[in-house]
Structure 1
Amino acid sequence: MIKFVLMVNQQGQTRLSKYYEPVELSRRAALEAVAVRCCLSRSKHQVNILPAGDVFVVLKSADRLLMAAGIIVLEEQLLIMFNLDSVHIILDEMIQNGRIVETNKCRILAPLTAIDKMADG
């Protein structure tokens, strides 16, 4: 579940914040400070998913803004765990021998669609 979305400039100022569950103002400031610190302290060669307290911060850089989404750790890990077979199928369709061979969403999801049709029919 996504807890919040932030847009932060290069100076660390929050330009936009959207929360998807009630959070006290003092807690918001603390969450934003941790997220901003994590965002601005990483180099461009580091991973874009960072732990920040009880959430993971997923980063995307766009021009001079950093966009960050805070997701609940436990729910997202369980979601992936329950769909692990689908994740393997998707990865197998996209990557072969360490190289990306397919990026077309329809072609990547075709085996999953076929499996769903077989299960329903």
Structure 2
Amino acid sequence: MGLRFFLLVNKQGQTRVAQYYQYRDVETRVTNEAEIIRKCLARTEKQCSFMEYRGFKLIFRRYASLYFIVGADNDENELAILEFIHMVVETMDQYFEGVCELDIMFNIDKAHFILDEMIANGEIVETNKTRIIAPIRVIDKVDKLSS
């Protein structure tokens, strides 16, 4: 399978983006998210950025006021997932010209689109920033023309 979910969370523990690649009912998602977020936010800068959680791995990284959290199968490479998180941040940074929490909140569809271009069915399928951003730019142009 690979990745189970991808979460973007602010420092207050509020989920801004949640993409799941394995079915979980809403109640389970909410319960698990709250526990996962508490665990990640409680870690200090000097502690490791990955941990075991209920039969899978949690890999996370903090950028400014946002935490990027990935749930992955046990056979996934933690360092590769950390690099992937960095690639997601760089891609969003390039598209939003300096991504911040407000960019995510006001353009939630674009954030999901970027993740959809990079991850399919829990597998990383694209890491080329130009290829990821190109379709979004086309949509932006069409939106401008129709306005």
TM-score (norm 1): 0.59
- Gap regions ≥5 residues in structure 2: 78-147
CA offsets 1:19-43 (integer angstroms, 9 cap, x no match): 0121111111122112101111100
**Partner residue, 2:76:** 76
CA offsets 1:41-79 (integer angstroms, 9 cap, x no match): 100010000122222110111110000000122x337xx
Check the 8 A contact 1:60/1:68 in 2, yes or no.
Answer: yes
Cα distance, 1:17 vs. partner? 0.3
Any residues of structure 2 matched to 1:101-112 within 5 Å, and which? none
**Partner residue, 1:27:** 28
Q: How many residues align?
A: 76
- Gap regions ≥5 residues in structure 1: 78-121
* CA distance in structure 2 between the partners assigned to 1:33 and 1:66 by the alignment: 13
Cα distance, 1:8 vs. partner? 0.7
Higher strand fraction (1 or 2): 1
TM-score (norm 2): 0.49
**Partner residue, 1:108:** none
* CA distance in structure 2 between the partners assigned to 1:37 and 1:55 by the alignment: 17
**Partner residue, 2:130:** none
* CA distance in structure 1 between the partners assigned to 2:14 and 2:25 by the alignment: 19
**RMSD value over aligned CA atoms?**
1.3
* CA distance in structure 2 between the partners assigned to 1:53 and 1:22 by the alignment: 15
* CA distance in structure 2 between the partners assigned to 1:51 and 1:4 by the alignment: 15
Cα distance, 1:2 vs. partner? 0.4
Secondary structure of the corresponding residue to residue 59 of structure 1: strand
**Partner residue, 1:16:** 17
Amino acid at match of 2:76: E
Q: Which runs of 4+ in 1 moved over 6 A?
A: none
**Partner residue, 1:38:** 39
**Partner residue, 1:66:** 67
Tell me which structure has the larger Cα radius of gyration.
Answer: 1
**Partner residue, 1:47:** 48
* CA distance in structure 1 between the partners assigned to 2:76 and 2:27 by the alignment: 26
Classify 1:65/1:5 alpha carbon distance in 2 versus 1 (closer, same or farther; 3 Å).
same
Higher relative contact order (CA 8 A, sep 6+): 2
Secondary structure of the corresponding residue to residue 3 of structure 1: strand
